[in-house]
Structure 1
Amino acid sequence: MKGKLILEDGSVFTGNLLNNIKATGEVVFNTGMTGYQEILTDPSYCRQIVTLTFPLVGNYGVAEKFMQSRKSFVNGFVIGELCDEGSNWQLQSELADFLTRQGVPCLYNVDTRAVTRKIRSVGCMKGIIVPEDASKVEIEELFAVPIKKEVVQEVTTPEIYKMENDGPDVVVMDFGIKQNILNSLHNLGCNLTIVPAHTSAEEVLAMNPDGIFLSNGPGDPKDVPEVIEEVKKLIGKKPMFGICLGHQLISLAMGADTYKLKFGHRGSNQPVKNLLNGRVHISSQNHGYAVDEASLKDLPLEVTHINVNDGTVEGLRHKTLPLFCVQYHPEASPGPDDNMYLFDQFWTMLTGENKGE
């Protein structure tokens, strides 16, 4: 079936529609060459239509072990070539079957370079995926559907659960956490209690953890002011580490500001400079908002990492408290292990032991 992606500025990109499902969402692009299943199941993409710049997608199929959450939360998938038959020793099913099972609209055989260039020049915008013969009324109705803002509540765990271990107790606030982050903390030795996003500070502290972790997640951090208020109450009470949305929430709780990036940072090849030692690491990123560096003036926060491409803030630490956070995803290991030292730093905060370099 023929289909098309229509952006709110009127741009149209044609292709083939895998399933007869319409979609509405913010259109973004990811520059990674691999990891399509991880992208599809990363809750940070909730309510977005994701375009992949790499042209060949589906060539190694999908497998349960690479799921990053309980399901796919993306609203749509726009790609170049959809591979019919994957080849990998861990393959359990084909990508097309996975997309159909997950109910994800997929438009393929699209000139994704043209889509990406449009977004880079104009910025992220709303878009829809429809069959080629969609009527004007259908298109207008889809564009009239607002993009939901309560995305954190949609992706967070509905109930508390544990990943038990013999190490320090860590409460993980789940704003849409990736499974690889939980695995990284658990493999480190942490005894994890994962709680829903809107768990109160009093409930967290009542668990008497050795540390608190704030996860990644979707959307504008300012859309969850009630969470920011709870984070304020937690700062200084226990060692704290935040990633991505967690980094933004910590910054807002400390009095800093955030802003929307023109087209965001999404991909597994983003260079980040560690200002503490001058090293540049390759990082995996997925965020559309950033901390405003100017707003950090007079706050007890120090910039520790910056994005080499545009100079935006990628990491912060408190000048006196055991608290730090980064905007990118160290667990994704694109380097392949350039940034795992951040988990070791958290371990040292929790135990006083030096587990890494």
Structure 2
Amino acid sequence: MPTKRYLILSDGTSYAGQAFGSLATTTGEIITNSTMNGYQEIITNQVHHNQIIVFTQPSIGNTGLDQNAYESILPSAKGVVVREYENLATDHLKRISLDRYLKQHGIPGIYGIDTRQLRHHLQQTGTLTASIVDVNDEHAFDQLTATVLTNQQVSQVATPKPYPNPGEGDNVVVVDFGLKHGILRELAKRNCNVTVVPWNTTSERILDLDPDGVVLSTGPGSPNNLPDSVLTMIQEIQSAIPLMAIGLGHQLFGRANGATVVALPVEHHGSNHPIKEIITNETFYADQEQGYELDTTSVDHSRLFITYIDVINGSIQGLRHRDYPAFSVEFLPDGAPGPKDRVDLFDDFIEMMAVRRRNDNGATY
């Protein structure tokens, strides 16, 4: 017999459903994700630290979890909300069910919720916090409204110490703000010799590793909550060696070059966001995990030019520096779960590093 549980929102709204995964009580920021597949990659993406993920795809759990598709070793999402839950696993492929995986990591789930109606509600209200609880009463709501979520997400999910992801090609340093493994996979495909360093590593220590290039990773939370020392690091790195920035790294790259960052009224999470490349006028679809955006009016066009925009709301999805071999994108070019329409951006980064090596012969960026 399924255990009855409740999803309660900070605006007083509540939904009844049934439990799967852990039976723990949880509280987090509630967001919706419209991706059709790839729930494993989404749940394990550290951008969802302290978030309860609502999947609008009606049926979740029907493919099992593949050990080769995790985006982090330890997921930090607070909960999972679905309409229909399938408790399937295909053991011959070394997969486990979503229910078992959530139990292993203490993450509660709730099903039987009209997730598309819930998405519509959240689009009207904007960002809310929520809890998954056993009893829908006044005490539960009091506990929810009294909970204060940390704004130090990066320090809680990023690596505390450097570690290698060895290869025999370009020497790349990845600054971990909440790194997703898809970035490492794409660099590994290009045979890069990667060293992952903590988010608060100084430019001096990064340059001591003699990198050919630096990647600023994705991560959770607001870039405005990170200290100015991070911006100083970016300013010093971008003028010295090729730099690629993704997600939170993109927002920090913008801030380091004078732009300001504001919260989106409703976060964008899904793989169906149309993005336009300015120079070619080409439109493609990309995976977004975005809660903040660069203020378009704050971009210093003498330093940066905009390379990509969101077709729906016009938000900045990419930047390139006018003077240095440095660029950034808001969307996730590695896909994981996809699409991978712009995975070639990693090739652009590889070429930037190759140009730097040829620069003594008169090549320019």
TM-score over 0.5 (shorter chain): yes
Answer yes or no: is the 8 Å Cα contact 1:168–1:210 preserved in 2: yes
The reply on whether 1:159 has 2:154 as its aligned counterpart is no
Computed over aligned residues only, the root mean square deviation of the Cα atoms, in angstroms, reads: 1.7
- The AA in structure 1 aligned to 2:76 is F
Aligned to 2:272: 269
The reply on whether 1:49 has 2:30 as its aligned counterpart is no
Paired residue total: 353
- The AA in structure 2 aligned to 1:160 is P
Answer yes or no: is the 8 Å Cα contact 1:5–1:127 preserved in 2: yes
In structure 2, relative to structure 1, the CA distance for the partners of 1:142 and 1:122 (3 Å cut) is closer
- The AA in structure 2 aligned to 1:176 is G
Q: SS at the partner of 2:185?
A: helix
Q: SS at the partner of 2:189?
A: helix
Answer yes or no: is the 8 Å Cα contact 1:333–1:340 preserved in 2: no
Q: SS at the partner of 1:246?
A: helix
Q: SS at the partner of 2:52?
A: strand
In structure 2, relative to structure 1, the CA distance for the partners of 1:334 and 1:307 (3 Å cut) is farther
Q: Distance in 1 between matches of 2:51 and 2:126?
A: 14
Summarize the alignment of residues 291-330 of structure 1 with structure 2, pairs less than 5 Å apart: 291-330=294-333
The reply on whether 1:119 has 2:122 as its aligned counterpart is yes
Summarize the alignment of residues 77-116 of structure 1 with structure 2, pairs less than 5 Å apart: 77-86=80-89, 90-116=93-119
Structure 2 runs not aligned, ≥5 long:
359-365
Q: Distance in 1 between matches of 2:276 and 2:334?
A: 17
Q: SS at the partner of 1:17?
A: strand
Q: SS at the partner of 2:266?
A: strand
Aligned to 1:230: 233
The equivalent position to 1:171 in structure 2, one of 161, 170, 173, is: 173
Aligned to 1:58: 61
Answer yes or no: is the 8 Å Cα contact 1:43–1:177 preserved in 2: yes
- The AA in structure 2 aligned to 1:351 is A
Answer yes or no: is the 8 Å Cα contact 1:269–1:334 preserved in 2: no
Aligned to 2:202: 200
How far did 1:227 drift? 2.1
The equivalent position to 2:185 in structure 1, one of 183, 186, 210, is: 183
Q: Distance in 2 between matches of 1:336 and 1:50?
A: 20
Structure 1 runs not aligned, ≥5 long:
none
Aligned to 2:29: 26
Q: TM-score, normalised by structure 2?
A: 0.93
Answer yes or no: is the 8 Å Cα contact 2:7–2:132 preserved in 1: yes
Q: Distance in 2 between matches of 1:189 and 1:33?
A: 31
Answer yes or no: is the 8 Å Cα contact 1:283–1:333 preserved in 2: no
How far did 1:193 drift? 0.5
Answer yes or no: is the 8 Å Cα contact 2:5–2:19 preserved in 1: yes
Answer yes or no: is the 8 Å Cα contact 1:254–1:299 preserved in 2: no
Q: Distance in 2 between matches of 1:311 and 1:238?
A: 30
How far did 1:333 drift? 6.2
How far did 1:88 drift? 8.4
The equivalent position to 1:221 in structure 2, one of 203, 220, 223, is: 223
Aligned to 1:6: 8
Identical-pair percentage? 34
Q: Distance in 2 between matches of 1:53 and 1:215?
A: 27
- The AA in structure 1 aligned to 2:56 is T
In structure 2, relative to structure 1, the CA distance for the partners of 1:91 and 1:52 (3 Å cut) is farther
Q: Distance in 2 between matches of 1:152 and 1:224?
A: 8
Q: Deviations over 1:37-86 (max 9, x none)?
A: 10110000000111000010000011211111011110111111110224
Q: Deviations over 1:75-120 (max 9, x none)?
A: 1111111102245863521110111111101111111011100111
Q: TM-score, normalised by structure 1?
A: 0.95
Answer yes or no: is the 8 Å Cα contact 2:28–2:149 preserved in 1: yes
In structure 2, relative to structure 1, the CA distance for the partners of 1:14 and 1:34 (3 Å cut) is same
- The AA in structure 1 aligned to 2:256 is A
- The AA in structure 1 aligned to 2:126 is G
